[in-house]
Structure 1
Amino acid sequence: MRSAILEVLKHNSGQYVSGEDISHTLKVSRTAVWKHIRGLKEDGYDIEAHPRLGYALRHNTDRLLPAEIKAQLTSRILGREIHYFSETDSTNNEAKKLAADGCPEGTVVVAEAQVSGRGRLARGWFSPYGKGIWLSVVLRPPFSPMEAAKCTLMAAVAVNRAINAVTGAGCGIKWPNDILCNGRKVVGILTEMSAEMDAINHIIIGMGINVNIEPFDFPAELAATATSLAIASGHQVSRLKLLTTILAELENVYIPVKTSGFGSVLEDWKSQSITLGQLVDVRGFDRSFTGVAINIDVDGALLIETAQGLERVLAGDVSIRPAAPN
């Protein structure tokens, strides 16, 4: 009933609709209408109530509410269950709780803001209210735990496709988990796994996407290295459109991986990479070195040609050297 009332309000495009008219149209009591309106307001909808005119749905400000997501959703598995938070510590933390309790594959956790968002290597992630997509997806894949790391590459391919389709910003993937626009970070991806020795219980893919953050929003320590899709594209971006496109693209990549493996994902990653062919600095847990990133192997490891020979990097911090001035 709540969704039916919402549709009536949307159909009237910001105009007032009396409680009596809604009651008559949907064949429910005016008290029931009032209770459902209150519930919609608690869900985050901006509904104005007037004692004589009735109810009017005001501009929704592109909030990532489950009903709005589902109205635009084209994926069949990803997003069939959605958990929404106005604010949370981390969507990955929420997703891990749900996964441990047996939530279905494709469950999505989305928040308007995170107070303890995080990326790789225990780094924080700036997650301001209403200006990004702070998202986690629960997967329950049938493959080996040894393949789980490649889910980060899979997600990067899907997110980059969606970004370029929706915004035309021309972004690219930096190994292993970042998407950059104009040399600055716009997306970070964090993959976490629960597994036994030979089987995966679940994988959580967390994505932090800077959508409509303005230059003055970024804290000083990020001002030189981070950007947003609005800055890169020169216009505000619909978070709902981008989110549902990301879920569709991720599903389109993930379903073939479940049956045929990661081969096509690795080739797609290479075609979208901004790391390959570049001089890079690598800081590992016990040593650092410099070389040219020449490829990734079947495990998703970065292959780097150094003066001492070929290095294979599965983990660590990789930064691209700036191009030398002409």
Structure 2
Amino acid sequence: MLRDEVLSLLKSGEELSGETMSQTLGVSRAAVWKAIETLRGEGYAISSAPRRGYRLEGSPDLLSAGELAAAVAGRRVGKELVCLETVDSTNNEVKRRAVDAVPDGLVVLAGEQTGGRGRRGRSFVSPAGKGLYLSALLRPDCPLEQVSALTAWTAVAVCDAVEELCGTRPGIKWPNDVILDGRKLCGILTELELEAETAALRYVVVGLGLNVSQTAADFGPEVAPVAVSLAQALGRAPRRAEAAGAVIAALDRMAADFPRRWAEWLERYRADCLTLGRPVRLLRAGGEEEAEAEAVDETFALVVRCPAGRRETVSSGEVSVRGLLGYV
């Protein structure tokens, strides 16, 4: 799309003449001018001066291929990028596209989700223009039993991205909620597809919703007490395109490391995990039980000490964990 190509050129920060851009892109100067006017209509501040050219002076909070061209250049994750205004779920959209031959590293972004999902079928509040809703398709080369750890690895990657963006490192509520100021900043949902005949792994979809500029009103009365956005916690928020670039870069590093640098990422997860050393409530189909969270084992499962000293290892597929002293 010419609009994205022109924006990508302007993102260099240099003054570029219409002639230079037309020659670079192989289109007419009139087509370049039309793309410039489209961008201005979307809220981009683009100055122009005779014999000097156009310069990008300011950008609105929009997501597009042109905004992210530099961030995804040369990366495995994001080498194919789809930006949508609205979608039911970015995970669903990746799975729909995976019916055809799509490359490893496909990323789908949306400005709004109408049916955002979390673990165990819970809904994820995804208001338009407020958060980063992103899913990536990965094809890791590993035994099937290791794939479930991608959820935990993704949580560490999101912590990396937020620290890079904002200078503040969040923590992780086991197994995969990213926490800032004691409330949920980001939710992660990992889904996989297997071959029907062989049960071989076809692909994994890693989806996340990062709260960027939401207010308490955006979350609603039920979610607001346990959710937080970067704007609420820090008094400021990055543009969503900046957040997307940082997250994609972090996911790209994660994909390159998985699973060969297992021990390193396990130690990083343990360092970020806020659940350890705290009393928790284990929620299972058969009821609830209080316990103390003691450790994260080699498979990223949680080791807890139950009443009467009994120790138990629980996986995210078996149990939900809630804090006794607040959300964490």
TM-score (normalised: structure 2) = 0.84
**Equivalent residue number for residue 214 of structure 1:** 215
Amino acid in structure 2 at the alignment position of 1:252:
R
Provide closer, same or farther for how the CA distance between residues 180 and 3 of structure 1 changes in structure 2, counting only shifts above 3 A: closer
User: Separation in 2 of the partners of 1:174 and 1:151?
Assistant: 15
Q: CA deviation at 1:241?
A: 2.2
Pairing partner for 1:26 from 22, 26, 48: 22
Amino acid in structure 1 at the alignment position of 2:273:
S
Amino acid in structure 2 at the alignment position of 1:320:
G
User: Separation in 1 of the partners of 2:59 and 2:299?
Assistant: 44
Q: Which runs of 5+ in 1 are unaligned?
A: none
Amino acid in structure 2 at the alignment position of 1:301:
A
**Contact 1:46–1:57 (CA<8 Å) still a contact in 2?**
no
**Contact 1:5–1:22 (CA<8 Å) still a contact in 2?**
no
User: Separation in 2 of the partners of 1:318 and 1:274?
Assistant: 12
**Contact 1:174–1:275 (CA<8 Å) still a contact in 2?**
yes
**Equivalent residue number for residue 173 of structure 1:** 172
Amino acid in structure 1 at the alignment position of 2:320:
D
Q: Secondary structure at the residue paired with 1:100?
A: coil
**Contact 1:79–1:106 (CA<8 Å) still a contact in 2?**
yes
**Equivalent residue number for residue 203 of structure 1:** 204
Amino acid in structure 2 at the alignment position of 1:108:
V
Bigger mean CA deviation after superposition, 79-88 or 308-317: 308-317
Q: Does 1:76 align with 2:75?
A: yes
**Equivalent residue number for residue 147 of structure 2:** 148
User: Separation in 2 of the partners of 1:25 and 1:191?
Assistant: 41
**Equivalent residue number for residue 325 of structure 2:** 322
Q: CA deviation at 1:48?
A: 9.0
- What is the root-mean-square deviation of aligned Cα atoms in Å? 3.0
**Equivalent residue number for residue 230 of structure 2:** 229
**Contact 1:143–1:200 (CA<8 Å) still a contact in 2?**
no
**Equivalent residue number for residue 312 of structure 1:** 313
Bigger mean CA deviation after superposition, 209-218 or 66-75: 66-75
Bigger mean CA deviation after superposition, 193-202 or 152-161: 193-202
User: Separation in 1 of the partners of 2:138 and 2:313?
Assistant: 28
Bigger mean CA deviation after superposition, 113-122 or 237-246: 237-246
Provide closer, same or farther for how the CA distance between residues 67 and 280 of structure 1 changes in structure 2, counting only shifts above 3 A: same
Q: Secondary structure at the residue paired with 2:268?
A: helix
Amino acid in structure 2 at the alignment position of 1:209:
L
Instruction: Encode CA deviations 1:246-281: one digit per residue, 9 max, x unaligned.
Output: 2222222221224x2532222111010001111000
Q: Secondary structure at the residue paired with 2:295?
A: strand
Q: Secondary structure at the residue paired with 2:293?
A: strand
User: Separation in 2 of the partners of 1:133 and 1:263?
Assistant: 29
User: Separation in 2 of the partners of 1:253 and 1:10?
Assistant: 27
Amino acid in structure 1 at the alignment position of 2:209:
G
Instruction: Encode CA deviations 1:276-302: one digit per residue, 9 max, x unaligned.
Output: 111000101223211111112222211
Q: Secondary structure at the residue paired with 1:202?
A: strand
Bigger mean CA deviation after superposition, 271-280 or 243-252: 243-252
**Contact 2:8–2:67 (CA<8 Å) still a contact in 1?**
no
Amino acid in structure 2 at the alignment position of 1:293:
A
Show the 5 A alignment for 1:37-56: 45-46=42-43
**Contact 1:173–1:275 (CA<8 Å) still a contact in 2?**
yes
Q: CA deviation at 1:155?
A: 0.2
**Equivalent residue number for residue 262 of structure 1:** 262
**Equivalent residue number for residue 139 of structure 1:** 138
Instruction: Encode CA deviations 1:160-187: one digit per residue, 9 max, x unaligned.
Output: 1111221133410001110111111111
Instruction: Encode CA deviations 1:96-137: one digit per residue, 9 max, x unaligned.
Output: 112231211111000011011010011111111111100001
Q: Which runs of 5+ in 2 are unaligned?
A: none
- Residue identity (%): 34
**Equivalent residue number for residue 290 of structure 1:** 290
Provide closer, same or farther for how the CA distance between residues 74 and 272 of structure 1 changes in structure 2, counting only shifts above 3 A: farther
Bigger mean CA deviation after superposition, 62-71 or 268-277: 62-71
**Equivalent residue number for residue 246 of structure 2:** 245
**Contact 1:173–1:179 (CA<8 Å) still a contact in 2?**
yes
Instruction: Encode CA deviations 1:70-103: one digit per residue, 9 max, x unaligned.
Output: 2233662011110111011000000111223121
Q: Secondary structure at the residue paired with 1:109?
A: strand
State the aligned residue count.
312
